[in-house]
């Protein structure tokens, strides 16, 4: 089933890279899926959100980032860029597949599976209120209402 605005989140709890359980129920959430730690676009996106974390918090949002990278990779990424929000490791692909962001991609004529950079805005009841698929990594916070 493809997720749309108004859909309930298919997974409502996660364990972040530090072992803390995070919930999408009871919190307004910016849940963003990104391809890979320490790549230019992913770094720009994470740093933009991090620099605007106080603004997002003033709007009531918690920020969670997710990729299929390992917790060890996430911990290094968080430390290197002093990120103040948690990252979710989904090495099993359970979450990325449930949210429909694990897709076939192609580069230089070669097909492969990967994450479609996507941000879901979720209300306190776990309902998707917006889906951002054309992410401006350097100015992502401006896309979040």
pLDDT single digits (tens) 36-84? 999 999 999 999 999 999 999 999 999 999 999 999 999 999 999 999 9
Which residue has 């003033």 as its token pair?
58
Q: List the structure tokens of 128.
A: 């998707």
pLDDT tens digits along 81-132:
999 999 999 999 999 999 999 999 988 999 999 999 999 999 999 999 999 9
Residue 1, pLDDT > 80, answer no
> 94 in helix, strand or coil?
helix
Burial 8-45 (b: 16+ CB within 10 A, else e): ebebeebebbeeeebebeeebbbbbbbbebeeeebbbb
In a domain, 64, yes or no: yes
In a domain, 69, yes or no: yes
Structural domain span for residue 58 = 31-143
In a domain, 104, yes or no: yes
CATH code for the domain of 49: 3.40.30.10
Which residue has 């350097």 as its token pair?
138
Beta bridge partners of 114: 103
| Rounded Cα gap, residues 125 and 99, in angstroms | 17
Q: In what helix (H) or strand (E) does residue 77 lie, and over which residues does it extend?
A: helix 71-81
Residue 118's nearest CA partner among 59, 66, 50 is: 66
* Residues designated as active site: 42
**Count of domains in the chain?**
1
């Amino acid at each position: 089933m493809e997720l749309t605005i108004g859909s309930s989140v298919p997974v409502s709890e996660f364990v972040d890279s530090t072992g803390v359980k995070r919930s999408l129920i009871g919190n307004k959430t910016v849940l963003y899926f990104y391809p890979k730690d320490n790549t230019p676009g992913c770094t720009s996106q994470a740093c933009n959100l991090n620099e605007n974390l106080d603004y997002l918090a003033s709007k009531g949002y918690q920020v969670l980032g997710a990729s299929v990278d390992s917790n060890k990779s996430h911990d290094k990424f968080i430390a290197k860029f002093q990120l103040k929000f948690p990252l979710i490791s989904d090495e099993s692909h359970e979450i990325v597949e449930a949210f429909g962001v694990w897709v076939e991609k192609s580069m230089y004529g070669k097909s492969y599976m990967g994450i479609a950079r996507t941000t879901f805005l979720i209300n306190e009841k776990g309902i998707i209120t917006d889906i951002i698929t054309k992410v401006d990594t350097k100015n992502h916070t401006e896309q979040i209402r």
